């Protein structure tokens, strides 16, 4: 679908049907494929650059770590 959307035929979808995908499942899969094709084009069109930490994680396979958040102060007890 990514390489030749207009060249798709029922035969291209058959292996997924054989795995149990129905029309709804194939439609959802088509939407996912379209979104994954859309966002990089949009980013390229706006000249967006990948953050260096994300590029490093992609190159090394080491996942990004979430920054540690400071502990929240305890809540005040209810008045009254």
Domain positions in the chain are 5-60
Say whether pLDDT at 80 is over 70. Answer: no
Say what the pLDDT of residue 78 is.
Answer: 76
pLDDT in tens, 12-45: 999 999 999 999 999 999 999 999 999 989 999 9
Q: What is the pTM of this model?
A: 0.56
- The CA distance from 20 to 50, in Å, is 37
Mean pLDDT (the chain) is 90
- The CA distance from 57 to 79, in Å, is 48
- The CA distance from 78 to 80, in Å, is 7
């Amino acid at each position: 679908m990514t390489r030749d959307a207009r060249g798709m035929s029922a035969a291209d979808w058959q292996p997924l049907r054989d795995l149990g995908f129905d029309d709804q499942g194939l439609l959802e899969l088509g939407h996912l494929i379209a979104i994954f094709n859309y966002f990089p084009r949009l980013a390229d069109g706006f000249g967006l650059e990948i953050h260096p930490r994300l590029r490093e994680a992609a190159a090394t396979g080491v996942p990004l770590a979430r920054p540690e958040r400071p502990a929240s102060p305890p809540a005040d007890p209810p008045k009254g």
